[in-house]
Amino acid sequence: MQPNIYVTRELPEKPMAALRKLGNVICNPEDRMLTHEELIKNVAGMDAVLCLLTDPIDEAVLKAAGPQCKIFANYAVGYNNIDITAATDCAIWVSNTPGVLTEATADIAWALLFACARRIVEGDRYMREGKFTGWAPKLFLGQDITGATLGVVGAGRIGGDFARKAKAFGMKVIYHNRRRDEALERDCDAEWVTLPELLQRSDYVSLHVPLTMETRHLIGEKELKMMKPTAILINTARGPVVDEKALAKALKEGTIWAAGLDVFENEPEYEMELRDLPNVTMMPHVASATIATRDRMGMMCVENIQAALSGKLPPNCLNP
């Protein structure tokens, strides 16, 4: 009997084709997020589930899958959407996709940093609106990047890659991590500092921490007030790491200069006030969205599902 594999939303063709070689693939026919009720209904009786960061995989969903289910393979590196303890209790493996989206995610953090510092989106809008009347000394003045101080909060894989790329711009890198990273210090002369020191010294603060109980609202009103009025905040990690209401207020009142956001506190919702602020650049959670990266993420899910279905430990298993 072929194993049943459920896919909560269609992936690009390469991983879909590879999945079909592993068993009977049943895929959500609509290109939209499933509700919790639909998830519960659709995973029942499946041997493997390929899920997304938008799917809340809690105890109810895991139990609904049934005792034959071997794995929930998350199509993301972040896995705050899955209750790993409940999965372990249900004897279901959980996997993620580390490593394959590091560069793409670091690159989008840089794209947002540039967009904010040099007001790229504002300038583009101005051109499209036909407002350009010629070169002007005070038109769209931005912030220097070369030689500035870059603060990296969470210098893991993605934060580390982001920090190393700063070398090309002659930036001073400071970072805040639970542990010191001597390789990073060697590679880009980075300095390990406390969070308050990082916030006070940085021209750019980029967030690269996973979402946990400790990092929820890591950046709130108090932290934003510690930043320079010329500073720019970049978030490509998870929305709830920043208190979005406090951020909107800080951007409106000029507490900080700008923000570049790829993630939001209550996706797909976001603070309406952000829409009206010219000093925020927003992207719809697309940090890993390159053709090759999304293929690699999918193929990694396939490898994990293949291992689990043959009773082997998935290579990217997250269960303790």
Name the site residues for ligand DGY (rule: CB under 6 A): 53, 76-78, 101, 285, 287-288
Shortest gap between Cβ of 78 and ligand DGY (angstroms)?
Answer: 3
Residue 134 is encoded by which pair of tokens?
């010629």
Q: Cis ω on the peptide bond leading into residue 268 (within 30° of 0)?
A: yes
Residue closer to ligand DGY, measured from CB, 23 or 159: 159
Indicate which residue of 176, 208, 238, 296 is catalytic.
238
Shortest gap between Cβ of 11 and ligand DGY (angstroms)?
Answer: 13
Nearest to 218 by CA among 276, 267, 227, 270: 227
Shortest gap between Cβ of 128 and ligand DGY (angstroms)?
Answer: 28
d(C-alpha 260, C-alpha 264), whole Å: 11
Residue closer to ligand DGY, measured from CB, 77 or 166: 77
Please indicate whether residue 176 is annotated as part of the active site.
no
- The counts of H helices and E strands in the chain are 13, 12
Shortest gap between Cβ of 39 and ligand DGY (angstroms)?
Answer: 19
Shortest gap between Cβ of 240 and ligand DGY (angstroms)?
Answer: 13
| Residue-by-residue DSSP string for 40-72 | HHHHTT-SEEEE-TTS-B-HHHHHHH-TT--EE
Indicate which residue of 176, 201, 285, 294 is catalytic.
285
Residue closer to ligand DGY, measured from CB, 34 or 101: 101
Strand 71-74 vs strand 24-27: parallel, antiparallel, or unpaired? unpaired
Residue closer to ligand DGY, measured from CB, 26 or 52: 52
Neighbours of 111 (CB within 10 A): 18
Please indicate whether residue 238 is annotated as part of the active site.
yes
Query: Residues with Cβ < 8 Å from 227, sequence gap 6 or more?
Result: 199, 200, 202, 205, 233, 255, 256
Beta bridge partners of 24: 4
Active site residues: 238, 267, 285
